């Protein structure tokens, strides 16, 4: 069998320059496997929501795709909107009241901005998997006080 590196032998016995002929079979094999994998991962829709890099989302068997709606991010240290920090968890997690005033103000503004009345009740919570339920509970309570009643949580689909 011809060696894959045969082209570097240079001149053959007749003194004629050898042909540059690299063996591409294995490269094509790799490319084909890669192509099949990438076609399998291909998504026409893409991700409508990009989770924050600070988050480790919980894993779930749910298959329902996300849809655009008012979104809240709960990291291990704070509650954020898509752009700004709203409240630090340490500031409210031990309070007697479940209401988070800063979050309530922000959610009220968001609800007023929403034109679609059905969508105005929906809120998507993007929470880190290691956040305690105490924090989630307070965020949900505040959202419900601001008029949001339909909750969704963002999760990673289990493979």
* Contact residues for another protein, defined by CB under 8 A: 1-2, 24, 27-28, 31, 34-35, 38-39, 41-43, 46-47, 49, 51, 57-67, 124, 127-134, 136-137, 140, 144, 149-157
Shortest Cβ distance from residue 71 to another protein (Å)?
11
Nearer to another protein by C-beta: 120 or 128? 128
CB of 20 to another protein, least distance (A): 13
11: CB partners within 8 A, 6+ apart: 17, 18
DSSP H/E element including 105: helix 101-113
Q: Least CB distance from residue 132 to another protein, whole Å?
A: 6
Query: For 75, phi and psi rounded to 5 degrees?
Result: -95, -175
Query: H or E element: which one contains 43?
Result: none
Rank residues 107 and 128 by Cβ distance to another protein and give the closer one: 128
Nearer to another protein, 102 or 145 (CB): 145
Q: Which two tokens stand for residue 40?
A: 């399998």
Maximum pairwise Cα distance, the chain: 94
């Amino acid at each position: 069998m011809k060696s894959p590196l045969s082209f570097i032998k240079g001149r053959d016995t007749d003194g004629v320059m050898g042909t540059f002929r690299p063996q591409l079979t294995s490269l094509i094999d790799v490319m084909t496997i890669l192509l099949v994998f990438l076609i399998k991962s291909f998504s026409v829709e893409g991700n409508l929501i990009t989770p924050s890099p600070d988050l480790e989302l919980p894993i779930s068997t749910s298959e329902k795709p996300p849809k655009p709606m008012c979104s809240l991010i709960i990291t291990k240290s704070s509650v954020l909107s898509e752009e700004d920090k709203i409240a630090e968890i340490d500031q409210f997690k031990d309070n007697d009241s479940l209401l988070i005033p800063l979050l309530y103000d922000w959610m009220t503004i968001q609800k007023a901005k929403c034109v679609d009345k059905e969508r105005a009740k929906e809120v998507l919570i993007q929470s880190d998997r290691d956040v305690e339920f105490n924090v989630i509970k307070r965020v949900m309570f505040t959202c419900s006080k601001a008029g949001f009643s339909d909750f969704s949580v963002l999760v990673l689909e289990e493979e």
